C-alpha cells in the first residue's frame, strides 16, 4: 500500500475545526478529513451523482474503527479527529458500538440525519447471555441537522430507554449492549467516511459480568478482523506497551496495511524516552509499523471549548525527547491529515473497481441495445427490418424444397416430408383407391414342358388343379426406411365377386333396350364412377396432410429465423409482435392456398368422372388384348384338358387302345361350351376387362396429376404458404400495412430509451472516474520511519 503524502494534511490547524468552531450552532462538522485530493475525489463523486450514475454504481465507504482499552482516551481522540462530540468520561458511548456514516449527496439536495439502532454484522448475544429484547427496533430519529447538544441528549436517551443499560454486577444488570447505534449523515457538503467507536477492552471483571468481559473481547476481534476496516489502535503512553493487551490483539487480527497505532495521553507519560524509542523505531525490540506510530495529547475534562488542542500539542511535542519523532507523526492534526489521506486513498482505490463495473455495465447495455435491434420509427427502417427477416426466411424456405438436409429440424425439411407423403398416397391409391377389387387374370396351366410319361399325341399334361381367379389385395402398405404406414385410404375394397355382381347388375339395367349379348358402352361411365368414388376423399386427405406439413415447415422456419436473431429476452419481447404478425400472414396464405388447391382437386375429380369415356393411349388396347388372350388361353386349356380326359378314358376300355371317332361327336357340345363361354359370361368378362384396363391407366394419370399439378404447385407456388412470404410480397404492402407488421413494441421503445440514457450516464461516469484517477495520482510516496 502506497504511503499517503504529507500534503494530505490540512494546511493549517484552522482547517480542522475543533468542537464548537464548526458553526455558530455547534452543528456536526461536514468534512473532518478534508484534503486537496479528497476534495477532487468528492467533486468527482458529485459529478457522478449529477449524471445520475449513482443509481448504477456505489462507492464503498471506508470505515475507521478505533479500539483500545478502557479509559485509554478513545472517545477523546475521536472527538479531536472528527469534531464529533463523543461523550468523554461519562462512560456512555463506550457501552455500545456507535457507527457514524457520512455520505455525500447530489448538489442542491437537503442535509439529513437518520439515527436508528441495528443488530451487528455478527452474533454476540450467546456470549453476553443477554435476553432477547426487540424494543430497540422502534427507535428512529430523523432531522435535517444534529448539533452537539442534541447528540449528547440522544445518546443518553438511547442508553437508558432503548439499549437497556443498567451498570452493575447484580443479576439483571446490563453494562453493555450488542446492538449498534447507527447515525447516518448525508448532504451535498459532507464527505464519504464511516467511523465506528466500540467499547474498550476490559482487563478485569471487577465491575462487570464475566460474560460481558469475554463478549467485549469477542466484539473487538470481530470488528478488527473485517478487511474493510481501518483500525486505529490506541495505547496509553502512561503504561508499558508490553502490558497493553489491545495492541497484541491488533497485531494478531489486523493486517499491517490497515493498522494505525497511536499513543495517547503523551502529556502524562512517565517514561517519554520509552514511548519515543518505540515510535521512532530506535527500540529494536519492537518491529516497525507499516504506517508508523502517531503520538497525541488528549483533551481533559477541565479544558473547555476555547482550549486550543493544536497549540498545546505543538508545545508538548516540540520539547525533548518528542522532537525526535517525525513532525508528520506528532499531534492530532497530523493524524487527522494522515487518516484523511488514507481515506482518500481508500476511496481512490474504489475508482478502478468502479470503472471496471462501469465498463461491465456499459458492455451489458451495449448488448441490450444490440439485442433490441435498430429503432423502427419510420417506413424505411420498418421495411428494411422486415426485408432482413424475409430474405433469410426465403433462403431457408428454398432450402426446404431443394436442399432440406441443410436444415436443423426434421419438420423444416419439407421436400423429404412431402416425398414420403406422396409415396404413401401412391400406395393408398393402388391398394385402397378402388371400390371393388379387380380379378387378377393368369394362366390356369403350368408353363413347364410336359414329361414324356404323362403326354400323349401332343396333349398337355393333366394339371394338378385349376386355381380360382385371385385379386391384387394388399395386406399392408409399402413404406420405405424410417417412414410410418400411410394414414390414407383405410377402407379396404370389396371382393372381385362383388364386382361381378355389380357388373351383372349394370348390364341388366342397360340391356332393357338392346338385344341380348350386346354390351351397351354407356355402362362404362357408370361403372367407372362407382369404381373411382374413393379417389377424391383420399386425395383431399393427402392434400390436407401436405398443407399442414407445409404450414408447419413455414412457421418453423420463421421461428428459426427469429431465434437466430435473438440474444436476450429483451429482443425476444421486442420481436414477438412482429413474429406474431408474420405468423398471421403465413396462416392467411396457407388458408388461401389450401382453398385454391382443394378447389382445383375437386374440379379435377369432377372432370375425371364426367369426361367422355375414351383414351388414345395404346397401352389400353395392349392391356385389353392381353386380358382377352389370357381368357382365351384358359378356355382353350379347358377344352384340350377335356379332350385329353375323354380320349384317355376311351383307350383304357379297348385292348388296341383305339379311339372311336363318334366319341368326339357325342361330346362336341360340352367341348364347345368349354371353348366358348356363354353370351352373358362373355359380356361380363368384356365389361370387366375394359373397365380394368381403363381404370389402371387413369389411376396412374390421377396420381401423377395430384402429386405434380396440385400438391407440388401448392407447395412451391410463389404465393403459397411456403414461398409467399417474400420481398415481392413486402413491396406490395402499403406503408400502413408495413407499420402494422413491423411497428416496434412500445415496451421496446421505452427499454431502448432507458438503455441509451444508462449508456450516456455510464460513459460520462467512466470519463469522470478516469479524470479523478489522473488528477489524484500520487506524485511521490512517503517514506515512513
The domain spans of the chain are 19-299+306-359, 381-742
pLDDT band at 27 (very low <50, low <70, confident <90, very high): low
**782 vs 349, residue with greater confidence:** 349
**28 vs 551, residue with greater confidence:** 551
Report d(CA 193, CA 229) in Å as an integer. 11
Return the number of other C-beta atoms located less than 10 Å from residue 741's C-beta: 19
Q: Which pLDDT does position 400 carry in this prediction?
A: 93
Report d(CA 364, CA 759) in Å as an integer. 9
User: From its phi and psi, is residue 485 left (phi > 0), alpha (psi between -120 and 50) or beta?
Assistant: beta
CA distances from 383 to 396, 589, 745 (A): 20, 20, 16
Percent above pLDDT 90 for the chain: 31
Strands (E), 253-379: 259-264, 294-295
pLDDT over threshold 50, residue 570? no
pTM of this structure: 0.52
Residue with cell 439485442: 371
Q: Which pLDDT does position 22 carry in this prediction?
A: 42
Q: Which of 435-449, 488-502, 614-628 has the lowest mean pLDDT?
A: 435-449
What is the assigned CATH class of domain 19-299+306-359? alpha beta
Give 418-452 as a 3 state SS string.
HHHHHHHHHHHHHHHCCCECCEECCCCCCCCCCCH
Q: Which pLDDT does position 490 carry in this prediction?
A: 59
Q: Which pLDDT does position 375 carry in this prediction?
A: 80
Residue with cell 365389361: 687
Report d(CA 734, CA 723) in Å as an integer. 20
Q: Which of 240-254, 309-323, 373-387 has the lowest mean pLDDT?
A: 373-387
Q: Which pLDDT does position 477 carry in this prediction?
A: 40
Please provide the average confidence, as pLDDT, over all residues in the chain: 80
pLDDT band at 773 (very low <50, low <70, confident <90, very high): confident
pLDDT over threshold 80, residue 421? yes
pLDDT over threshold 50, residue 10? no
Return the number of other C-beta atoms located less than 10 Å from residue 40's C-beta: 18
**Are the C-beta atoms of 183 and 96 separated by less than 8 Å?**
no
Q: Which pLDDT does position 56 carry in this prediction?
A: 61
pLDDT over threshold 60, residue 171? yes
Q: Kindly give the pairing relationship between strand 63-68 and strand 229-236.
A: parallel
**Are the C-beta atoms of 547 and 721 separated by less than 8 Å?**
yes
Instruction: Compute the average pLDDT of residues 44-73.
Output: 73
Instruction: Compute the average pLDDT of residues 472-485.
Output: 39
Q: Which pLDDT does position 609 carry in this prediction?
A: 83
Q: Which pLDDT does position 34 carry in this prediction?
A: 63
Interval 440-469: pLDDT, tens: 877 666 554 444 433 333 333 433 333 344
pLDDT band at 667 (very low <50, low <70, confident <90, very high): low
Torsion of CA 321, 323, 324, 325, to 10 degrees: 110
pLDDT band at 611 (very low <50, low <70, confident <90, very high): confident
pLDDT band at 767 (very low <50, low <70, confident <90, very high): confident
pLDDT over threshold 60, residue 412? yes
Return the number of other C-beta atoms located less than 10 Å from residue 535's C-beta: 24
Q: Which pLDDT does position 35 carry in this prediction?
A: 66
Closest alpha carbon to 38 in 260, 346, 291: 346
Q: Which pLDDT does position 484 carry in this prediction?
A: 39
pLDDT band at 632 (very low <50, low <70, confident <90, very high): confident
* Cell representation of residue 214: 469475554
pLDDT over threshold 90, residue 337? no
pLDDT band at 495 (very low <50, low <70, confident <90, very high): confident
Q: Which of 241-245, 317-321, 397-401, 706-710 has the lowest mean pLDDT?
A: 241-245
Where is 681: in which H helix or E strand? helix 679-704
Report d(CA 429, CA 536) in Å as an integer. 10
Q: Which of 267-271, 461-465, 577-581 has the lowest mean pLDDT?
A: 461-465
Annotate 250-270 with DSSP letters as a single string: HHHHS-GGGEEEEEE-GGG-S
Q: What's phi and psi for 583, nearest 5 deg?
A: -60, -40
Q: Which of 378-387, 414-423, 474-483, 636-645 has the lowest mean pLDDT?
A: 474-483
Q: Which pLDDT does position 670 carry in this prediction?
A: 66
**Are the C-beta atoms of 175 and 136 separated by less than 8 Å?**
no
How far is residue 509 CA from its own chain's centroid? 74
**553 vs 207, residue with greater confidence:** 553
* Cell representation of residue 736: 400502413
Instruction: Compute the average pLDDT of residues 403-421.
Output: 93
How far is residue 271 CA from its own chain's centroid? 71
Q: Which pLDDT does position 244 carry in this prediction?
A: 86
Closest alpha carbon to 604 in 739, 709, 507: 709
Report d(CA 87, CA 530) in Å as an integer. 114
Residue with cell 504506517: 291
Amino acid at each position: 500500500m502506497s504511503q499517503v503524502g504529507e500534503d494530505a494534511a490540512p494546511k493549517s490547524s484552522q482547517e480542522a475545526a475543533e468542537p464548537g468552531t464548526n458553526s455558530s450552532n455547534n452543528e456536526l462538522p461536514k468534512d473532518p478529513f478534508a484534503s486537496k485530493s479528497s476534495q477532487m475525489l468528492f467533486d468527482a463523486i458529485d459529478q457522478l451523482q449529477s449524471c445520475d450514475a449513482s443509481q448504477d454504481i456505489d462507492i464503498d465507504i471506508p470505515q475507521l474503527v478505533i479500539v483500545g482499552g478502557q479509559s485509554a482516551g478513545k472517545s477523546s481522540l475521536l472527538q479531536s479527529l472528527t469534531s464529533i462530540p463523543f461523550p468523554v468520561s461519562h462512560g456512555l458511548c463506550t457501552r455500545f458500538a456507535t457507527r457514524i456514516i457520512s455520505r455525500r449527496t447530489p448538489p442542491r439536495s437537503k442535509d439529513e440525519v437518520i439515527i436508528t439502532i441495528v443488530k451487528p454484522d455478527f452474533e454476540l448475544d450467546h456470549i453476553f447471555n443477554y435476553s432477547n429484547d426487540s424494543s430497540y427496533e422502534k427507535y428512529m430519529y430523523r432531522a435535517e441537522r444534529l448539533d452537539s447538544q442534541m447528540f449528547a441528549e440522544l445518546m443518553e436517551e438511547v442508553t437508558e430507554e432503548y439499549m437497556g443499560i443498567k451498570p452493575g454486577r447484580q443479576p439483571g444488570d446490563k453494562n453493555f449492549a450488542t446492538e449498534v447505534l447507527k447515525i447516518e449523515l448525508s448532504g451535498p457538503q459532507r464527505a464519504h467516511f464511516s467511523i465506528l467507536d466500540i467499547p474498550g477492552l476490559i482487563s478485569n471483571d471487577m465491575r462487570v459480568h464475566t460474560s460481558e468481559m469475554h463478549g467485549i473481547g469477542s466484539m473487538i476481534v470481530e470488528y478488527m478482523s473485517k478487511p474493510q476496516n481501518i483500525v486505529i489502535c490506541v495505547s496509553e503512553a502512561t503504561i508499558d506497551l508490553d502490558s497493553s493487551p489491545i495492541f497484541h490483539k491488533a497485531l494478531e487480527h489486523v493486517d499491517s496495511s490497515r493498522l494505525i497505532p497511536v499513543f495517547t495521553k503523551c502529556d502524562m507519560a512517565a517514561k517519554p524516552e520509552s514511548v519515543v524509542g518505540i515510535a521512532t523505531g530506535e527500540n529494536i525490540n519492537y518491529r516497525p509499523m507499516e504506517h508508523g506510530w502517531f503520538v497525541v495529547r488528549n483533551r481533559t475534562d477541565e479544558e473547555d471549548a476555547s482550549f486550543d488542542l493544536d497549540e498545546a500539542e505543538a508545545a508538548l511535542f516540540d520539547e525533548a525527547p518528542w522532537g525526535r519523532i517525525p513532525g508528520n507523526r506528532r499531534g492530532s492534526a497530523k493524524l487527522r491529515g494522515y487518516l484523511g489521506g488514507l481515506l482518500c486513498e481508500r476511496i481512490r482505490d474504489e475508482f478502478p473497481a468502479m470503472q471496471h463495473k462501469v465498463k461491465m455495465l456499459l458492455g451489458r447495455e451495449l448488448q441490450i441495445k444490440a439485442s433490441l435491434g435498430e429503432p423502427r420509427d419510420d417506413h424505411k427502417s420498418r421495411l428494411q427490418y422486415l426485408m432482413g427477416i424475409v430474405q433469410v426466411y426465403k433462403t431457408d424456405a428454398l432450402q426446404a424444397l431443394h436442399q432440406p438436409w441443410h436444415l436443423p429440424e426434421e419438420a423444416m425439411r419439407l421436400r423429404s416430408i412431402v416425398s414420403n407423403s406422396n409415396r404413401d398416397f401412391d400406395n393408398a391409391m393402388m391398394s385402397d383407391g378402388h371400390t371393388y377389387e379387380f380379378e387378377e387374370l393368369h394362366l390356369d396351366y403350368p408353363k413347364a414342358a410336359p414329361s414324356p410319361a404323362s403326354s400323349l399325341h401332343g396333349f398337355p399334361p393333366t394339371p394338378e388343379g385349376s386355381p380360382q381367379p385371385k385379386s391384387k389385395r394388399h395386406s399392408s402398405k409399402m413404406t420405405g426406411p424410417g417412414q410410418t404406414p400411410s394414414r390414407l385410404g383405410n377402407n379396404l375394397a370389396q371382393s372381385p365377386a362383388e364386382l361381378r355382381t355389380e357388373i351383372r347388375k349394370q348390364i341388366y339395367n342397360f340391356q332393357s333396350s338392346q338385344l341380348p349379348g350386346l354390351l351397351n358402352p354407356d355402362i362404362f361411365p357408370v361403372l367407372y364412377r362407382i369404381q373411382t368414388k374413393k379417389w377424391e376423399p383420399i386425395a383431399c386427405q393427402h392434400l390436407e396432410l401436405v398443407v399442414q406439413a407445409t404450414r408447419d415447415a413455414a412457421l418453423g422456419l420463421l421461428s428459426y429465423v427469429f431465434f437466430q436473431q435473438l440474444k436476450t429476452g429483451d429482443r425476444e419481447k421486442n420481436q414477438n409482435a412482429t413474429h406474431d404478425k408474420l405468423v398471421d400472414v403465413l396462416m392467411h396464405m396457407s388458408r388461401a392456398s389450401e382453398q385454391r388447391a382443394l378447389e382445383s382437386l375437386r374440379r379435377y375429380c369432377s372432370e375425371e368422372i364426367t369426361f367422355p369415356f375414351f383414351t388414345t393411349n395404346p397401352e389400353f388396347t395392349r392391356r385389353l388384348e392381353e386380358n382377352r388372350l389370357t381368357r382365351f388361353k384358359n378356355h382353350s386349356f379347358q377344352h384340350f384338358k377335356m379332350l385329353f380326359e375323354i380320349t384317355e378314358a376311351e383307350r383304357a376300355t379297348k385292348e388296341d387302345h383305339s379311339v372311336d371317332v363318334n366319341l368326339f361327336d357325342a361330346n362336341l357340345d360340352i367341348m364347345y361350351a368349354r371353348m366358348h363361354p356363354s353370351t352373358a359370361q362373355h359380356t361380363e368378362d368384356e365389361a370387366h376387362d375394359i373397365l380394368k384396363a381403363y381404370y389402371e391407366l387413369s389411376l396412374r394419370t390421377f396420381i401423377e396429376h395430384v402429386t405434380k399439378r396440385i400438391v407440388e404447385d401448392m407447395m412451391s407456388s410463389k404465393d403459397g404458404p411456403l414461398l409467399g412470404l417474400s420481398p415481392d410480397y413486402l413491396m406490395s404492402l402499403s406503408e400502413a400495412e408495413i407499420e402494422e407488421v413491423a411497428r416496434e413494441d412500445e415496451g421496446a421503445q421505452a427499454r431502448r430509451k432507458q438503455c441509451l440514457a444508462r449508456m450516456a450516464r455510464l460513459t460520462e461516469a467512466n470519463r469522470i472516474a478516469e479524470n479523478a484517477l489522473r488528477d489524484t495520482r500520487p506524485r511521490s510516496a512517503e517514506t515512513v520511519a
